[in-house]
Amino acid sequence: MTFSFSNILKSKKEKTPSEVIPKIEYKGGTKYAEDETNNVYLDFEELGGFPFIKTIIIGELSTKIKRTGCTLTFIFKNESITLNSDNTDIESNKIKNTPSYYTEIDFELNEAEAERIKNGKVTEIQYNFKGKVYIFKTV
């Protein structure tokens, strides 16, 4: 076996988020929707008697938003419900040793909206970040 600098200097092939995401096991939420390069985990929670939705996006989506927040729209067959983010500052965090990001966003809602989303047939969800819409199909 001969020594070769070319083997040492070759760059390692970067894995894409679509290769990494199936291997990530997130146990902090229920998988609710996905697209080609992201998974969305969603749970209904309550704090001080007020319901809210906790969402986590894991994948290639990376964003940093100050003072404007975002919206989340639940699309049903004949209607939709749009919720505003609880916090106006949103920032994705890089997942160590992967090309993927982790973005946690909470949304305010009332009891009627919570029941409609829990019991209705949601076909897709849409996040709107600064005018850019990301569409995820429910699983």
User: Which whole number is the average pLDDT over 43-52?
Assistant: 91
Q: Which domains does the chain have, with CATH numbers?
A: 15-138 (2.60.40)
pLDDT of residue 127: 97
Give the pLDDT confidence of 52-61 residue by residue, as tens digits: 999 999 999 9
First-to-last CA distance in the chain? 51
How many alpha carbons lie under 13 Å from residue 69 in its C-beta half-sphere? 12
Check: CB of residue 90 under 8 Å from CB of residue 69: yes
**pLDDT tens digits, 55-92:** 999 999 999 999 999 999 999 999 999 999 999 999 99
Residue 47 CA neighbour count, 13 Å, CB half = 9
| Share of residues in the chain with pLDDT > 70 (%) | 84
Question: E strands of the chain, at which residues?
Answer: 30-34, 38-47, 50-59, 64-65, 70-75, 80-84, 90-91, 93-94, 101-108, 124-129, 132-138
